[in-house]
Each structure stands twice: as structure tokens, then as C-alpha cells.
């Protein structure tokens, strides 16, 4: 292997390493920002879910966790859509 080939190989390794570090930093920043958004907007998100649950007839939404509430809302929407398709 000549010196130029070794130099090119090192250049590629540095480029790949730089890309991996950049992607890792961007992923970490994204995770941090999403977590921060959820913390600061938790009350608004919960209010919106309760409103949607009441609109779609989900029983006792106050006692459900957000994930379960989202799943029940999704299920209610799907059931309503299926019922509309059957009557059409």
C-alpha cells in the first residue's frame, strides 16, 4: 500500500467518524428537545387528549394515562369510521 492510498483511507475513516459523531449529537439534541417539549406542554397535551376523549365518547378519560387515552381515542375513531362504512 502506498502512502497516498493510506492517506486516502485515513481521510475516509475521518469522514465516517465525523458523520457518526454528528449523527449522535443530533440524535441526542432531538431526544433532549422532545423531552423538554413534553415536560413544558404536558398540561396542554393532557387537556387536548381529554377534549378528544370526550368528543369520541371514551369512558372516564381522567383516570387513564396519556398513552392509554391515546390508544382508546384511536380505537374509538376507528370504530366510528367502521360503523360509518357499514351504514354507507
Do 2 and 18 share a domain, yes or no? yes
What's the predicted TM-score (pTM) here? 0.55
- Total structural domains within the chain: 2
Do 54 and 77 share a domain, yes or no? yes
Tens digit of each residue's pLDDT (9 = 90 or more) over 10-36:
888 999 999 999 999 999 999 999 999
Do 47 and 86 share a domain, yes or no? yes
1 has a pLDDT exceeding 70:
no
CA distance 52 to 44: 12
Do 83 and 69 share a domain, yes or no? yes
88 pLDDT band, cuts 50/70/90, is low
Residue 54: domain span: 42-88
Tens digit of each residue's pLDDT (9 = 90 or more) over 42-65:
889 999 999 999 999 888 878 889
Phi first, then psi, for residue 71 (nearest 5°) are -65, -40
Residue 65's SS3 state is: coil
Amino acid at each position: 500500500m502506498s502512502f497516498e492510498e493510506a492517506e486516502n483511507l485515513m481521510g475516509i475513516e475521518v469522514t465516517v467518524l465525523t458523520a457518526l459523531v454528528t449523527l449522535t449529537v443530533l440524535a441526542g439534541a432531538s431526544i433532549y428537545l422532545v423531552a423538554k417539549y413534553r415536560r413544558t406542554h404536558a398540561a396542554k397535551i393532557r387537556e387536548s387528549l381529554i377534549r378528544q376523549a370526550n368528543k369520541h365518547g371514551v369512558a372516564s378519560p381522567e383516570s387513564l394515562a396519556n398513552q392509554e387515552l391515546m390508544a382508546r381515542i384511536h380505537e374509538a375513531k376507528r370504530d366510528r369510521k367502521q360503523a360509518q362504512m357499514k351504514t354507507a
